[in-house]
Amino acid sequence: MLYASSDFPFATVLVNAIGCFGLGLVTARRLFLTKHHGKQISNAWFLFYSSGLFAALTTFSGFSKDLLQLLTEPVIIAGVAVSNQVAALGYLLISIIFGLFMLMLGFLLARNRYNSNNKFK
């Protein structure tokens, strides 16, 4: 009998996507302040936000654990048994594609905010 000993890790995907979005915002802010105002966010602050806050929010170890769990335990998604390989590949692709999408979205929103106001608020 199949049972859901592990669910699809939607929470990890969401947290990683939020971290990617934030990283896009911070990166765009740093780039445009430097390019258009000659101002530089200090490396310490940029590292605090990029490598500290957003890297701590996202979790590669959690992602890796979830991927291994999908490969080794029975998976049921929305009441349907899914092969381990399909679930793991789906998780991998969703995580990468959604993460890149959110990174670009954050970057573009910050860039558009700058372009429409000619300054960051």
110: its two tokens: 């910050």
Segment 6-12 mean pLDDT: 81
Residue written as tokens 């048994």? Answer: 81
For residue 58, what is the DSSP state?
A: S
Question: Is the pLDDT reported for residue 33 higher than 80?
Answer: no
Q: Is 91 exposed, middle or buried (0-12, 13-18, 19+ CB in 10 A)?
A: buried
Residue 103 confidence (pLDDT) above 90: yes
Query: Is 61 a residue whose pLDDT tops 70?
Result: yes
Domain boundaries, the chain: 10-117
11 burial via Cβ count (<10 Å: 0-12, 13-18, 19+): exposed
- Contact status, residue 31 vs residue 98, Cβ threshold 8 Å: no
For position 75, what pLDDT does the model report?
86
More confident residue, 65 or 6: 65
Predicted TM-score (pTM) of this structure? 0.75
